[in-house]
Structure 1
Amino acid sequence: MEFDLSQALDGSPTFDDETFQLSCYDMTDVEDKTYPLDKGLDLVISYNRKTMQRVANLVVAVNRMKKSLKNCGRGLSNEQLCSEILESLVEETTIDTVEQPSRQKIYTRVNSVKHCTITDSSKKDVVHGPEEMELQAITLKGGSCERKVEFTLLRYVTPEPQPGKGQPVVLSIRNTGIHISCSMTGNRAVLKLERCLEEHLERISDEQNMDRFLFYHTVTGLDETKFESVRCPSWYISTSCKDENMLLEMCEVDNVGRLKSFMIN
């Protein structure tokens, strides 16, 4: 035994040896037992595979009820009597919870810069106008190659790399101070172009939403690349499967109507 049942009581249990043994072992097909607690109050026990621990809990509860009911008057209503029983059994416990500070994720830029253009898997090129804060995917004809956006790919490292994820990068439009970002608006991730000084992106943390500029750069088969938002996991930079002159947008991984693979040129 891991405990002495007598320690939980003021005196010895009122059950006889036979009743006590019946309560300690598995019982099947045994009638309910009734024990008088006080005038007009009985305890009915239905046997159903009682363990010694359950027996101990039951005896302690009964003993506490008996001590509490001794101080009650004889003229209590059923509601008052029920309230007294509950007060004798229920203990209030106050638990102080300490909010643990969240661990800040830091992404540090490495000395690796790549200048490139980007084409989706259906050969549409990414373009934008000089006054437009948006990107489009267009199939360019000969002589229009100057409309392609030239990107600067800035690479980052973190002390806690995510398994299965690519390298974090920032996609910037070269020599403009304009960067692609992604943030949640309602239940959708939204792709934007934002101006930000490059020195503010030397070290990026997930505080103040600065990781909205980061994307996981993952190389898939045939040298194709996917860009998954760090701020909005499972949302990818994408283009339309069929339509021309459509905006680059974010889409979820299971969206079959969007192209999520790109060629880095």
Structure 2
Amino acid sequence: MCDFDLSQALDGPFDYEAVEPESSCSDMTDVEDAIIKLDDGLDLVVSHNPLTMQHMATLLLAVKKMKKSLTRCRQELSDEELCSAIMDSLVEETAVERVENPNTGRKTVTFQRVNSIREYTLCNTSKKDIVCALTELKLHAITLKGGNGDHKVNFKLSRYITNYQRSQIVMLSVSPNLHISCSMKGDTAELTLEECSEKELKLISNDRNMDRFLFYKIEKGIDLNKFESVACSNWYISTSYQEENQAVEMCKVDANTAEPRRDICFKINEKH
């Protein structure tokens, strides 16, 4: 295991200018720094100090995320855009404790907000945009005509991490204190816009049902994403396929569902 070479796990081609063949993770104190060619004008310098396998895995994840961001760019990046791509590729480590509740037997899971907070608009596969009816605090999907783009909801996606993370976990906020939440009402999951201060949502625990504000962001094909409730498994944010100006609601999709009766896929457009 200690003879693991990071270059074997990365998608090539990469140019290592100063790596000795006998280098390994157990004895690299006197080896020169390695320079990995990521792209034109962008090098990753790896200092060879004795590393653990956890350090190696963290570095690998960061490099692959950075490379993915760069390959999506169809033009040369500015210094500011390049810096943003590097910052988005950072991998944060956190220790999350899972404690079993002696009364319910349910494990307490903690979700911590990290630094990726950006502003986006959402539209479904039928190109209906998500708007907000402020009088009743409800989200609706509607096809906006030219000149009405300012009616789209600008969502802020805050990213969360935990120790069992299977995909990206996000919170969708309409304003600093107004967020999408999902809770079970009888046999049905209900989507609402709920007020809660940002301070209370910096660290979320499921033992107080605070995970109702969180969703798994699941990539579906090219440029499409699904949002599954963390608190209500197999329930997804959805819109009507055909009808206009219908409410955004939760839709159940599990192994017994042949085809969702509602549209659960969204295109995320970054707000500039």
Normalising by the smaller structure, the TM-score range is 0.5 to 0.7
Rounded Cα–Cα distance in structure 2 between residues aligned with 1:144 and 1:100: 50
2:141 aligns with one of 137, 140, 145: 137
What is the correspondence of 1:239-250 to structure 2 with a 5 Å cutoff? 239-250=239-250
Quick one: which amino acid aligns to residue 185 of structure 1? K
The letter for the 2-side match of 1:174 is S
**Residue 110 (1) aligns with residue 114 (2):** yes
Q: How big is the shift at 1:132?
A: 2.9
Q: Cα deviations across residues 75-126 of structure 1 (Å, max 9, x unaligned)?
A: xxxxxxxxxxxxxxxxxxxxxxx86853210000001101000000110000
- Scaled by the length of structure 1, the TM-score of the pair is 0.59
* Match of residue 185 from structure 2: 185
Whose helix proportion is higher, 1 or 2? 1
1:100 to 1:172, Cα distance in 2 relative to 1, 3 A:
closer
Report the equivalent of 2:27.
Answer: none
| Structure 2 counterpart of 1:170 | 171
Q: How does 1:1-265 map to 2 (within 5 A)?
A: 101-162=105-166, 166-175=167-176, 177-253=177-253, 254=257, 256-265=260-269
Q: Cα offset for 1:159?
A: 1.3
Q: How far is 1:219 from its partner?
A: 1.1
* Structure 1, unaligned runs of 5 or more: 1-97
Secondary structure of the corresponding residue to residue 169 of structure 1: strand
| 1:141 alignment partner AA | K
Preserved CA contact (<8 Å) 2:133 2:140 = no
Q: CA RMSD in A?
A: 1.5
Query: Judging changes above 3 Å, is the alpha-carbon distance between structure 1 residues 100 and 149 closer, same or farther for their aligned structure 2 residues?
Result: closer
Structure 2 counterpart of 1:53: none
TM-score, normalisation: structure 2: 0.58
SS of the residue corresponding to residue 211 of structure 1 reads: helix
The alignment covers a number of residue pairs equal to 164
2:153 maps to a residue whose letter is V
Q: Is the 8 A contact 2:251 2:260 kept in 1?
A: no
Moved over 6 A (4+): none
Identity %: 48
- Farther-moved stretch of structure 1 (184-193 vs 253-262): 253-262
Counterpart of 1:135 in structure 2: which amino acid? L
Change (3 A) 1:146 1:105: same
Instruction: Give the Cα–Cα distance (whole angstroms) in 1 for the partners of residues 138 and 148 of structure 2.
Output: 19
Assess, with a 3 A threshold, how the Cα gap between structure 1 residues 127 and 207 changes in structure 2: closer, same or farther: same
SS at match of 2:164: coil
Relative distance call for 1:139 and 1:204 in structure 2 (3 A) is: same
